[in-house]
């Protein structure tokens, strides 16, 4: 019997990332967490450890309309916006766009970055640790790339930590993903193998949960939005087909609810 071959692949691995984050918090404690809070990235220490859920992501990507840049779910056109990404990740939707597509690729891999940060000990200056964490976050979660190579632009962001907040990360994440969605749609239309989709693919799962009632919320008030769910959900292809078949139009929200508190 032939083995299972996924219809699509992606390099974003939140389970490994969360494991490393937990180890860093245990090793370096409050000083590390507070320094990340100053930069407004401490929330990513709580990024749920999510199974790949390939079938769910594949089904959603098959609903992508490249010309309108939206998802068509049960006849509803739902935009995937930078404002929504901002709500999901807890970063402001303003600032300079981080362009990664034309950047040079360094000889360092995302795995190298992970190994470097795991080898740091309590004697490591916090600023050195934070710089390496930013590279780890950007290369493994925001913009995981082909062959896991790290663009030099990511390394340059970490050379001056205080400039991190000058970038519009929600817009940058969203636009990077949209290019990937368009590439997948183009391959699908031509009957080609879909291969890999790069970028912060898992944010798409939380986005879907916000627009539907597919997955129950763990904590309604938790922020940023991705912390409203634990990562203990896994959908088979059969599950996904049934979920989308049973989803009623009234159960699909065209807009995410904006916080009023």
Query: What digits encode the pLDDT tens for the residues 184-229?
Result: 999 999 999 999 999 999 999 999 999 998 999 999 999 999 999 9
Looking at residue 99, its pLDDT comes to 86
- Which of 90-94, 117-121, 219-223 is most confident? 90-94
pLDDT band at 259 (very low <50, low <70, confident <90, very high): low
Res 106: pLDDT: 63
Phi/psi-derived region of residue 49, left when phi > 0, alpha when psi is between -120 and 50, beta in every other case = beta
Task: Give the predicted TM-score (pTM) of the model.
Answer: 0.93
- CA 94 – CA 108 distance, rounded (Å): 29
pLDDT in tens, 45-79: 999 999 989 999 999 999 999 999 999 998 899 99
The Cα–Cα gap between 165 and 39 comes to 7
Task: Give the SS3 label for residue 54.
Answer: helix
What's the chain's average pLDDT? 91
Q: How far is residue 76's CA from residue 68's CA, in Å, rounded to a whole number?
A: 12
């Amino acid at each position: 019997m032939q083995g299972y071959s996924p219809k699509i692949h992606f390099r974003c691995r939140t389970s490994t990332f969360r494991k490393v984050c937990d180890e860093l918090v245990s090793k370096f404690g409050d000083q590390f967490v507070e320094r990340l809070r100053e930069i407004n990235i401490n929330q990513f220490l709580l990024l749920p450890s999510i199974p790949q859920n390939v079938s769910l992501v594949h089904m959603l990507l098959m609903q992508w309309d490249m010309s309108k840049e939206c998802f068509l779910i049960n006849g509803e056109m739902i935009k995937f916006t930078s404002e929504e990404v901002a709500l999901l990740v807890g970063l402001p939707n303003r600032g300079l766009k981080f362009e990664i597509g034309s950047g040079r690729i360094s000889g360092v891999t995302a795995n190298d970055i992970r190994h470097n940060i795991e080898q740091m000990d309590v004697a490591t200056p916090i600023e050195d640790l934070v710089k390496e964490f930013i590279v780890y976050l950007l290369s493994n979660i925001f913009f995981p790339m082909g062959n896991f190579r790290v663009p030099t632009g990511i390394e340059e962001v970490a050379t001056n930590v205080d400039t991190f907040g000058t970038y519009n990360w929600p817009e940058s994440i969203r636009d990077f993903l949209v290019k990937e969605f368009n590439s997948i749609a183009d391959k699908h239309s031509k009957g080609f193998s879909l291969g890999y989709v790069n970028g912060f693919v898992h944010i798409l799962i939380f986005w879907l949960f916000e627009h539907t009632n597919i997955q129950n919320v763990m904590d309604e008030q938790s922020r940023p939005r991705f912390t409203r769910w634990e990562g203990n959900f896994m959908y088979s292809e059969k599950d996904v087909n049934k979920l989308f078949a049973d989803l009623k139009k009234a159960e699909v929200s065209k807009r995410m609810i904006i916080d009023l508190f």
